[in-house]
Amino acid sequence: MLDLKTVLTPERTLCRALGASKKRLFESAANLISENHSELTASDVFGSLLAREKLGSTALGDGIAIPHCRISQCIAAVGTLITLEEPIDFDAPDSKPVDILFVLLVPEEAQQEHLTILGGLAELLSNKEFCQGLRDASDSQELHRFAVEFRL
């Protein structure tokens, strides 16, 4: 079972954000991450997320996406949780717009860790109760608290 406390901090949790597009969301996530991790520049994070998304949509369906990439400057797994005020198109397999995103960065060489964390995130985000709790959060502090304290 994935413990979100290991990858997610309150500073990288954003509730009911305004998201005009995938690109804007990636910019917001990159800025949030680079503010807390001096080894990661916003432009490197943004470019890596965009390059990964060009390989295929990271949307899972049911309004959920897990944009993710491995990045050489990353020294440990870093997550950013974002819920949106209004869902946006994300080229999801079910064509539903996305309103919950968990952005994940891992070190370049951490292939197994990447897969393990992605699997844990997919399991959590496939739980209807978990997703409803994320959607019901009224602010970033409540969103973070719910996310890290939820147990399957």
Length of the chain: 152
Contact 134, 100 (CB under 8 A): yes
Q: Which of 37, 68, 114, 144 is catalytic?
A: 68
How far does CA 18 lie from the centroid of its chain?
Answer: 15
Please indicate whether residue 37 is annotated as part of the active site. no
d(CA 29, CA 83): 12
Per-position b or e across 74-97, b if 16+ CB within 10 A of its CB = beebbbbbbbbeeebebebeeeee
Q: Is 56 exposed, middle or buried (0-12, 13-18, 19+ CB in 10 A)?
A: exposed
Residues 6+ away with beta carbon under 8 Å from 3: 148
Which residues sit opposite 71 in a β-bridge?
107
Catalytic (active-site) positions: 68
